[in-house]
């Protein structure tokens, strides 16, 4: 008889690991990329396809759209979605435009500013090289997708309804969100029971 396959629990980043990765970025562009993955939970392909028109500064929102991109980046979902982001991320975006992006004429948010071809949309290969360098610097063997796992798990642990999490992640089915992210550790379970007063109110002496 075949044993059931246990679903792998997604790898997560601790807050100090996220901070270490961000602080190790030598450029605002790179810091913005990973801050965006952490703050919005989007896929790296969705980030690389992001255009300036997709960032609503006043509303503090980004819109992920599926479109043809010159760098081969793509959004997995055919449906557009809007994700709220923090004021800190918007400020970082503004700093990036002012300090590094300058008067470069491009629709893409993430572009080659030091490598070639200059001004062209940043590619998956460029992100791979960047991640490899950051792994060496930080000693953290992370993958960009871990930021998405961390984002989703954080929301679920903070009791954001799974329907909302699913929509923000751009999942086609609620089942995908539940199967992938609705995992809890024993510490999560203990914390939830403690918050509910489970350990404080006992009707039976044991």
Q: Which residues are known catalytic residues? A: 43, 76, 145, 148, 171, 181
- How many other CB atoms are there within 10 angstroms of residue 84's CB atom? 13
The Cα 131–Cα 61 span in angstroms is: 26
What is the torsional sign of CA 165, 19, 43, 79? positive
The Cα 121–Cα 45 span in angstroms is: 12
Strand-by-strand arrangement of the 55-56 sheet: 55-56, 61-64, 81-84
Give the three-class secondary structure for 143.
coil
CA separation, residue 74 to residues 43, 50, 79, 158 (Å)? 9, 10, 12, 30
CA separation, residue 76 to residues 44, 49, 101, 126, 184 (Å)? 11, 11, 27, 20, 26
Structure tokens given for 88:
């800190």
């Amino acid at each position: 008889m075949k044993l059931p396959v246990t679903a792998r629990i997604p790898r997560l980043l601790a807050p100090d690991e996220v901070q270490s990765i961000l602080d190790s970025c030598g450029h605002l562009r790179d810091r913005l990329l990973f801050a965006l993955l952490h703050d919005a939970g989007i896929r790296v392909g969705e980030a690389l396809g992001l255009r300036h028109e997709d960032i609503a500064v006043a509303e503090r929102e980004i819109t992920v759209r599926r479109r043809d991109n010159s760098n081969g980046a793509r959004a997995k979902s055919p449906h557009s979605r809007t994700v709220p982001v923090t004021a800190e991320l918007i400020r970082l975006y503004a700093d990036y435009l002012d300090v590094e992006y300058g008067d470069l004429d491009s629709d893409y948010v993430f572009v080659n500013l030091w490598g070639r071809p200059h001004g062209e949309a940043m590619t998956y290969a460029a992100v791979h090289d960047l991640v490899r360098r950051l792994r060496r610097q930080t000693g953290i063997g992370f993958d960009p997708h871990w930021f998405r796992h961390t984002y989703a798990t954080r929301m679920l642990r903070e009791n954001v309804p799974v329907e909302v999490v699913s929509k923000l992640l751009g999942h086609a089915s609620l089942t995908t969100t539940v199967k992938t992210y609705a995992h809890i550790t024993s510490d999560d379970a203990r914390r939830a029971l403690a918050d509910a007063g489970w350990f404080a109110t006992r009707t039976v002496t044991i």
